[in-house]
Structure 1
Amino acid sequence: MSVLDGWVLGEHTASGITHTTYRKGSGPGVVVISEIPGITDDVVAFAEEVVGQGFTVVLPHLFGRVPSPESPTAMIGSLRQACVNREFNKLRLRQTSPIADWLRSVARELHAELGGPGVGALGMCFTGGFALAMMVDDSVAAPVVAQPSLPFPLGKARAADLNLSPADLSRVKERAAAGCDVLGLRYTGDIAVGTRFETLARELGDAFIRVEFPGRKHSTLTAHRQQEGVDRVLAFFREKLLSG
């Protein structure tokens, strides 16, 4: 028996790129983008909770095995796979990862099919900032960034960078000023996040909702799960996508 039993296998193609997807639920759409090493049991368990709140969840498979073990070997293998993939910007400053176009397409298609105020988007760790990049598209109404870690925080500039091009950052700021809030979660001692929360607070002002926990752990919603964080995410999706 697989942890993904009951999830519908599919695929999505945009700009000549195709990735496998897993889908479950009913109601407004939420795209949950897994962290390294991939779609683990913990990621699926969190996604099931989102489904249980009345949402249609799509899990893109971008790297790793499905389901992925949470072992050091799996972590190293997925990281190696992601690091050679040109869809992800790992080190460049002020550049959006190319995978953002594909993810925005997923969100647009989901919103067109399901309707509602918009789609939720949640990224974790390696993919944390992708929810910001998806917010460039009007279909995304509830972006969540969980411990965003790209570009890798090598030096002060990268540690503060949001993995967005200047044009995309400008659009994100416009949407935030117009009322699209961004929810962010992290452990305060997590060096992988760098100083991005300070950048988000400066660039987005009150539209950036910070949820922070003490300590040096990392995965707020999965391996190092904080129930308060999970509850805040679920409440955020309900408020933004189910209201009215």
Structure 2
Amino acid sequence: MPNRDLNIHDPLDDFEPREITLDGVAKVVHVAGAGPAVIVMTEMPGISPHVARFSRWVRDAGFTVYMPSLFGRDGAVPEVEEGTATVRRACVSAEFRAFAADRSSPVTQWLRALARLAHQQCGGPGVGAIGMCFTGNFALTMTLEASVLAPVLCQPSLPLDQPAGIESDADELAAVRQRLERDDLTVMAYRFEGDRFCTGQRFAAYTEALGDRFIARVLPDSAANRDSLAPFFAQVVASPHSVVTAHLIDEAGQPTIAARNEILSFFARRLARER
């Protein structure tokens, strides 16, 4: 994959932008690659150059990436004013439940439909899904769609006002756990130890709800990139947070690279065509 400057706008010119209408709702989805499908859901405040880089890693590992535009300006470097405005709009949007614990965001219904479509289009045993930050829990809810076999939660941050809250109600969590056990699936999850948006309390709540089906990885804060952060991450996020995007250190031997590689291996193992 050619190196791209992560501090300038990414034109996403190696992705195909498709307008996809599901359940009467149209969204742009950036698609690239070949092989089984993986849904990459962006973190706040949108599809940044770092999020696009991660999607390219997934693509280059042998998958078809479906990267839906859920909020923000696609390809933009996260700035403070624009990023903060995006967060505010999402917090009051009917598609998301930023503050309500025990209820999943309505947009997850659309994402489950996207997973079904992607599976139909790409074939293979099923679909992978990764959510980050604001969308972190979405991959868990998406396991209620039968095609989703490889859910990954990176720094799931909702609900914003309840550190120990989970954005799923008790019935949904029970249904998810039943699905995981019935089909022998696991959920991979990642956070930095000092993340103020995705706390240890939240991971403890996931463990209580899902038992050993929830595989938690907690990285030390020292493993987070602190250099040349986009203004939104330096000034608004202001803690180690984005494991495979903004706070990833792209050097061999780094814990964040190990996390990225483990995620790619997880997708490869669960979505292998011989299953």
Residue 3 of structure 1, CA deviation? 3.8
Aligned residue in 2 for 1:36: 44
Please tell me whether Structure 1 or Structure 2 has the larger radius of gyration of its CA atoms: 2
Aligned residue in 2 for 1:67: 75
1:169-180 matches, cutoff 5 A: 169-178=173-182, 179-180=184-185
1:223 paired residue among 246, 251, 255: 246
SS of the residue aligned with 2:145?
coil
1:202 aligns with 2:208: yes
Residue 77 of structure 1, CA deviation? 2.1
* C-alpha RMSD of matched pairs (Å): 1.4
- The number of residues matched between the two structures is 240
2:59 paired residue among 51, 54, 64: 51
1:90 aligns with 2:98: yes
Gaps of 5+ in 2: 1-8, 222-238, 249-255
1:183 paired residue among 174, 188, 203: 188
Provide closer, same or farther for how the CA distance between residues 2 and 147 of structure 1 changes in structure 2, counting only shifts above 3 A. Answer: closer
Aligned residue in 2 for 1:236: 266
CA contact 1:32–1:57 (8 Å) conserved in 2: yes
Gaps of 5+ in 1: none
Provide closer, same or farther for how the CA distance between residues 243 and 112 of structure 1 changes in structure 2, counting only shifts above 3 A. Answer: closer
2:121 paired residue among 113, 117, 120: 113
Aligned residue in 2 for 1:160: 164
CA contact 2:41–2:68 (8 Å) conserved in 1: yes
CA contact 2:173–2:210 (8 Å) conserved in 1: no
User: Cα deviations across residues 47-90 of structure 1 (Å, max 9, x unaligned)?
Assistant: 00000010000110011011121221232121122112110011
C-alpha separation between the residues in 2 aligned to 1:16 and 1:167? Answer: 26
Residue 167 of structure 1, CA deviation? 2.5
TM-score (norm 2): 0.84
SS of the residue aligned with 2:144?
coil
CA contact 1:177–1:204 (8 Å) conserved in 2: no
Residue 14 of structure 1, CA deviation? 2.2
SS of the residue aligned with 1:22?
strand
- AA in 2 matched with 1:29: A
Deviates more, 1:37-46 or 1:174-183: 174-183
1:132-151 matches, cutoff 5 A: 132-151=140-159
CA contact 1:120–1:142 (8 Å) conserved in 2: yes
User: Cα deviations across residues 137-163 of structure 1 (Å, max 9, x unaligned)?
Assistant: 1111000000000011x2xxx222221
1:125 aligns with 2:133: yes
Provide closer, same or farther for how the CA distance between residues 243 and 55 of structure 1 changes in structure 2, counting only shifts above 3 A. Answer: same
Runs of 4+ in 1 over 4 A off after TM superposition: none
C-alpha separation between the residues in 2 aligned to 1:50 and 1:198? Answer: 28
TM-score (norm 1): 0.94
C-alpha separation between the residues in 2 aligned to 1:98 and 1:68? Answer: 25
Deviates more, 1:18-27 or 1:164-173: 164-173
